Each structure stands twice: as structure tokens, then as C-alpha cells.
Structure 1
Amino acid sequence: MLRILPPLLVLALWIWAFIDCLTTPEEEVKHMPKVIWVIVVLLFPLLGSIAWLAIGKQRGVPRPARAGYAPVAPDDNPEFLASLKKQQDDRDTDHLKQWEADLRRREQELRDRDRKDRPEQD
């Protein structure tokens, strides 16, 4: 098992570095063109992979957002928060209308009952 582990680790590192190299945008590649980095990683699995991961790519720099799109968490998105508030306001308005209608119905029932209970006076 110990004889198999180092080659498997090198293979995993090689595959990871190769995929990372292929998927990295050209703007984030440092020191050499991206095509040269791909060739170096392919030809020198261990050293090329280590070099790519160590110096081939800008690290810690966020990728620029796509044109016209800036990802925002829902709890930070004013449009989303406004839509939630509008939904809640609409629900509250509906509840209030239902309560008012129920109150009017009950008041009418009480008036009707009072009229029935009262003797008619001439």
C-alpha cells in the first residue's frame, strides 16, 4: 500500500493542476502564456504541477463578475428584500380585510339578533 500511495498522490496532483490550469482564465495566469503552462504541466507531472500551483496563477484575487452581473446574497439584495416586504404587506392587507369583513358580519348578526329580541314598539 505504501508503494502505491506516492504515485497516486502525484497522479492526483497532476490531474488537479492540469484541470486548474485549463479552467483558469487567461487574465489570471502569471509569468508565461496559458498554453505554455498547460504544456509544462503535461510534460513534467510533478514539477510542472507544483510550479503551476506555486507561481502560475494569481491567488487570492477574486474573479471579476460577468458583465452586468454582480452576485449578491439574497439578504443583501434590496430588490429581494423589497419583494419580501411587499409580499408580507399584501398578506397583512388580506388578513386585515378578512378581519374587517368578519367583524362587519358579526356586528350585523348582533344587530339582527337584537332586533328579533326587542319587542316591536308602536
Structure 2
Amino acid sequence: MARLLFVLGIVAVTFMIYSIVDAALRPVRFIRGLPKWAWLLIIIVIPLIGGVLWFVIGRGREQNTPVHRTLGPDDDPDFLGKLGHTTPRDPAAEARTDEQIRDLEKRLAEQAGDNPSDDPTSGRRGKPGPA
């Protein structure tokens, strides 16, 4: 029984110290009901009840300020709205790009020493390699 009272006394003192520090360090704009000095006096004079009253009544919430969060592109309505307004594709420009890609693939195959008649998209080679 003595150990229980000792532990409860330590918990009560710890709670009182935490309440005093919290009330002393809290900005004035987040304190409700009474001035800061009055809350500190109540916590010191009425240790357990004063601390409970501080946390229930006097301690204001800091979440009154609006929270700004960053949206990803797939959640941003402005970005999603812009996706529908793309310019139409030019078929002649796409054909030129495809021709340039084929030409580059042919030159790369020649530099690598491969047969230029191989189809680079099929993955097959003209000459079978050693097994």
C-alpha cells in the first residue's frame, strides 16, 4: 500500500509540473477563460484539480489556423482541367519523328556491327549466336 501511495504521489507531482510548464509556455492567444497568471495560480494552489481544469477549460487548441497541404498532380483540379485542353496532333510531324527514330536505330545497329536488315523491334538477330 505504501508503494502505491508513493507511485501515485510521483504521478501527481509530475502532472502538476507538466501542467505548470504547459501553462507557462503556452502563447497567450491559445489560453481561454482566464489570464495566464490566474491559470498558473490555480494549478499551484489546487494541484490536481487545477491541472485538470487547465487541460479541460484553459488550454486552447492550436489547430485553429488553416492547414495548407500540397496536392499531387492527380488530385489538383487545375492540373486535371488542363489535361483536357491539349493541342491536336500533327500526323506529318509524327511521321517525321517515326522516320528519325528508324534512321537512328539503323545507324546504331550498324555501329554495333549487327546486320542492318535485322528488325530491331522483334528482338531477333540475323545470325544465330553461339549456344
TM-score, length-scaled by structure 2: 0.49
Larger radius of gyration: 2
Supply the distance in 2 between the matched residues of 1:111 and 1:77 (Cα, whole angstroms). Answer: 47
Note the alpha carbon deviations across 1:98-118, whole angstroms, 9 max, x for none.
xx7x84322343469xxxxxx
Aligned residue number for residue 29 of structure 2 = 27
Give ranges in structure 1 of 5+ residues lacking alignment: 79-99, 113-122
Which of 17, 20, 28 is equivalent to 2:19? 17
1:1-122 matches, within 5 Å, as: 1-59=3-61, 62-64=63-65, 71-72=68-69, 76=71, 103=105, 104-108=107-111, 109-110=113-114
TM-score, length-scaled by structure 1: 0.52
* % identity of equivalent residues: 22
RMSD over aligned Cα atoms: 3.5
Give ranges in structure 2 of 5+ residues lacking alignment: 74-100, 117-131
Larger RCO of the pair (alpha carbons < 8 Å, separation 6+): 1
Supply the distance in 2 between the matched residues of 1:4 and 1:110 (Cα, whole angstroms). Answer: 87
Instruction: Report how many aligned residue pairs link the two structures.
Output: 88
Note the alpha carbon deviations across 1:24-69, whole angstroms, 9 max, x for none.
221221111112212222333222212111211234x61426xxxx
Task: Identify the structure with the greater helix proportion.
Answer: 1
